[in-house]
Amino acid sequence: METQLIELAYALDTLYFLVMGAFVMWMAAGFTMLEAGLVRAKNTAEILTKNISLYSISCIMYMVVGYNLMYPGGGSGIVPDLAFFLGTDNTVEAVVGSGGDVYYSGMSDHFFQVVFVATACSIISGAVAERMKLWPFLLFCVFMTSIIYPVQGYWKWGGGFLDAAGFSDFAGSGVVHLCGAAAALAGVIVLGSRKGKYKDGKPQAMPGANLPLATLGTFILWLGWFGFNGGSELIVSNVVEANAVSLIFVNTNLAAAGGVMGALILSKMMFGKSDLTMALNGAIAGLVSITAEPLAPTPGLALIIGFIGGLIVVFSIITLDKLNIDDPVGAISAHGTAGIWGLLAVTLTGGSLGAQLYGIIVIFLWTFIASFIIWKIIHTIYGLRVTEEEEEEGVDISECGLEAYPEFSKQFDSAPSVYPKK
Amino acid sequence: MKLVIAVIKPFKLDEVREALSAIGVQGITATEVKGFGRQKGHTELYRGAEYVVDFLPKIKLEIAVSDGFVDKTIDTILKTASTGKIGDGKIFVLELQEAIRVRTGEKGEEAL
């Protein structure tokens, strides 16, 4: 009977990882739709290609080396041990013999973790949209998912020095979102802004081609985030944990709702209009804000944390534009600025301000500097940016050789009249 | 023969077309165009960046009519396409040198 209960709990918690992991995988579709909706029609096919490819590369490189780098058998606390590929899973004897201490499949843990890496990479793709070449971006992803992300992930979740220092990051406001945003910021600085985006320092509007897709993408991310935060409790199979997971779902939901309203209200106040794209960024910012600690706050506090995230993201978007840092989808603001707020908000429920600041600075500096170097190297060897003509024509043609909306862009015949260069 | 070119607001198309059919006009060509007159455009807003949209969507109608029909055509268009607000459009009348029906080869007023 005891054995059966141990096996049942193992199966339940393993299933929990798998289902929550599948929810987070669905966030890849969310990012893809959100970005596809916020870029112009002539750049849509490329960003779709980029998103499905980066997801694939993330899974591959994390399996090859990233996972073991992030969760090594040993390590100095700063430099993790190196190991490749995935090992074998727990045997029945090992599980039963542990009395329930070993409570989930190793493979299910890998699956749950790999979808987080893909999320971090996905943040970058939106910020560099509409003017970056596809393959140099994918090359960066290889480094991001095999080294940059795993090393800082090791420092916190793999038992490294940030964890030892008391830095708190439940589901990854820092490890995933701030990390992705820092890599994105480095990329955008090396890449430069879109042609014509800033005239005399003032931002020119380049409206997205498909706001229904952008909104759908945001709802998909919202749904997927229940897996992102809920799954990060890592266990569900007893009363305490089941209650914890339930509270996390509620808090995550409320933070997103708060983020939407914060951004929408502020947009109405600042611009006189209720900007949908700001509301969508607000939802994301709210979700990112609660991701550092979705369990400790009361639902009311979670709502406020998300609401403030929604306010912050609007200010951040405006500020980045003032600094002429071009981020077509607001990724750096929604994930980076809101990520920093999320990490600081942990102090509202007992976290140490010093430890949080320490984590923020370490994650940001490591990711930004490592990314900047790699972006620069790729840029020097291959060039990051498409040519001016290619940017004018749209990267769909130059990178993909096809269009996302061929019938809408061609008036006189239904087949595109530009064919891929041989 | 004359070619009457009318640039009108898009939502007026059905009304104008029905009225023209009622007075006996048998053929119209319509194109979606963008344009502005003294109306200029309006300002839109996207993520805090204002931008001016000068060219507004309009419909351009081209109607070939016999000389005697021109005034009736113009009156009909003026009556139905007008809203009294700026941006109602303009009518131009050009001299039409020849008109030919593709199917039969008929020329002149026979072709209208």
ipTM of model:
0.71
Closest-CA residue of chain A to B31: A411
User: Do B51 and A205 count as a contact with CB atoms less than 8 A apart?
Assistant: yes
Q: List pLDDT tens digits, range A238-253.
A: 999 999 999 999 999 9
Alpha-carbon span A146 to A375, nearest angstrom: 15
Which member of B45, B48, B51 has the closest CB to residue A318? B48
CA A181, distance to chain mean position in Å, is: 8
Q: List pLDDT tens digits, range A368-392.
A: 999 999 999 999 999 999 999 999 9
Q: List pLDDT tens digits, range A92-117.
A: 999 999 988 899 999 999 999 999 99
Closest-CA residue of chain A to B52: A205
Which member of B48, B50, B51 has the closest CB to residue A321? B48
Tell whether A100 is within 8 A of chain B (Cβ).
no
Tell whether A206 is within 8 A of chain B (Cβ).
yes
Check residue A415 and give its pLDDT: 45
User: Do B48 and A270 count as a contact with CB atoms less than 8 A apart?
Assistant: yes
User: Do A275 and B51 count as a contact with CB atoms less than 8 A apart?
Assistant: no
CB-defined contacts A:B, below 8 A: 34
Check residue A136 and give its pLDDT: 97
Q: Residues 71..110 of B with a Cβ closer than 8 Å to A: which?
A: none
Chain B residues inside the 8 Å CB shell of A321: 47-49
Chain B residues inside the 8 Å CB shell of A202: 49
- Output the pTM of the full model: 0.88
Count of residues in chain B: 112
- For tokens 């409570």, what's the residue? A103
Q: List pLDDT tens digits, range A280-313.
A: 999 999 999 999 999 999 999 999 999 999 999 9
Tell whether A326 is within 8 A of chain B (Cβ).
no
Long-range pairs of A294-297 with CB within 8 A, sequence gap ≥ 24: A294/A170, A294/A171, A294/A229, A294/A232, A294/A247, A294/A248, A294/A251, A294/A252, A294/A255, A295/A170, A295/A233, A295/A244, A295/A247, A295/A248, A295/A251, A296/A346, A296/A349, A296/A350, A297/A251, A297/A348, A297/A349
The DSSP secondary structure of A90-120, one letter per residue, reads: --HHHHHHTTTSS-S-HHHHHHHHHHHHHHH
Q: Quick one: average pLDDT of A13-30?
A: 97
Residue-averaged pLDDT of chain A: 94
Q: Which residues contact A400 (CB under 8 A, 6 or more apart)?
A: A45, A46, A49, A134
**Partners of A118 in the β-ladder:** none
Check residue B45 and give its pLDDT: 85
Q: List pLDDT tens digits, range B49-83.
A: 888 888 889 999 999 999 999 999 999 999 999 99
